[in-house]
Amino acid sequence: MTVSVHDARPCALGEGPLWHPERQQFFWFDILSKRLMTQNGGKPHHWQFDDLVSAAGWASKDELLIASEKELFLFNLETGTSDSICPLEADTPTTRSNDGRADTQGGFWIGTMGKSAERFAGAIYRYYKGELRELFVGTTIPNSICFAPDGSRAYYADTVTGQIMAVDLDHDGWPTGNMDIFLDLRADGLNPDGSVTDAAGNLWNAQWGASRVAQYSPDGVFLQTIGFPAQHTSCPAFGGPDLTTLFCTSARQGIDSETLAAEPLNGQTFALQTNIKGQPEPRVIL
């Protein structure tokens, strides 16, 4: 498997990769540049926003539900217009949205964090059928939000803890019971960032500062790692016509100018063809 550059535009903080199954189009964010990124016919394209934006789910062929530092809003990709859905910590200007993904039942999970990664300043929420509900509080850098293919389990990480957690879900996608430790990466000094699950339920985790994405079985057994030419891999996503292309965003945040000059691929967005099949991202039920 050979990693290639999907898009050479360097992101300060690439995040939120999403393959839209109806449009057959790949989207991602540069959080710190307040941009939603894509390609149209192989040509780079982006939308500029006034607020920090970080993650999305698809609500229709032409609409994304986007998380910003103030709200969840519906964005029309054809007209460029936005409609507010609900506030998201709008009264807390020191926080922003971070990692997020739609679950199998059609809910949208989104984490928040301090803009300077203040300890315990964030939370994880779920939006489902018109309701935004706070699920977990006191997170510092919420990441790794993804779901078992059958909708029975959710995963998430607070990156600073070095652990990825798991929780069972009910038939409507709400958590039941307490979080359990799915992966403990502290002994290896690894920082879990964004994750995605494939069709077999394996979890693929981007590991900040380690230049890699690692694959783990549904039982938490390490299976393999794929190296990327960027220090800060931030989030993977499966896409392409048969969902066997593994995309991965990366970031330049925290890397000094001398290193960036010597390693210019930092912050770019990558792709590789695999023999692993992903699962299509579910539609968000508004």
- The count of domains in the chain is 1
The answer to the question of residue 96 being in a domain is yes
> 99 is in which domain, residue-wise?
4-273
Q: What is the pLDDT of residue 259?
A: 97
Q: Which helix (H) or strand (E) holds 55?
A: strand 53-58
Given this model, what pLDDT does residue 1 score?
75
Q: Token pair for residue 93?
A: 């200007």
Q: In this structure, what token pair is assigned to residue 266?
A: 């930092």
Q: How far apart are CA 271 and CA 229, in angstroms?
A: 11
DSSP string, 96-159: EEEEEEE-TTS-EEEEEEETT--TT-EEEEEEETTEEEEEEEEESSEEEEEE-TTSSEEEEEEG
**Residues 99 and 17 sit within 8 Å (Cβ to Cβ):** no
pLDDT in 10s for each residue of the chain, 286 residues: 799 999 999 999 999 999 999 999 999 999 999 999 999 999 999 999 999 999 999 999 999 999 999 999 999 999 999 999 999 999 999 999 999 999 999 999 999 999 999 999 999 999 999 999 999 999 999 999 999 999 999 999 999 999 999 999 999 999 998 899 999 999 999 999 999 999 999 999 999 999 999 999 999 999 999 999 999 999 999 999 999 999 999 999 999 999 999 999 999 999 999 999 999 999 999 9
Q: Mention every residue, 6+ apart, whose C-beta is less than 8 A from residue 213.
A: 204, 205, 206, 207, 225, 226, 228, 233, 236, 246, 248
pLDDT at 178: 86
Cα–Cα separations (whole angstroms), residue 181 to 19, 104, 108, 165: 28, 21, 22, 5
Establish if 279 belongs to a structural domain: no
* CA pair distance 4, 271, nearest whole angstrom: 5
Strands of the sheet containing 222-227, edge to edge, are 192-197, 203-207, 212-216, 222-227
Confirm whether 281 is domain-assigned.
Answer: no
Residue 286 lies in a domain: no
Query: Which sequence positions are flagged as catalytic?
Result: 193
**Which residues, listed in sequence order, are joined to residue 63 by a DSSP beta bridge?**
76
Cα-to-chain-centroid distance, residue 144: 7
Does 285 reside within a domain? no
Q: Within a domain: residue 98? A: yes
Which three-class secondary structure state does DSSP give residue 160? helix
CATH of the domain at 257: 2.120.10.30
Considering the domain boundaries, does residue 125 fall inside one?
Answer: yes
Is 72 part of any domain?
yes
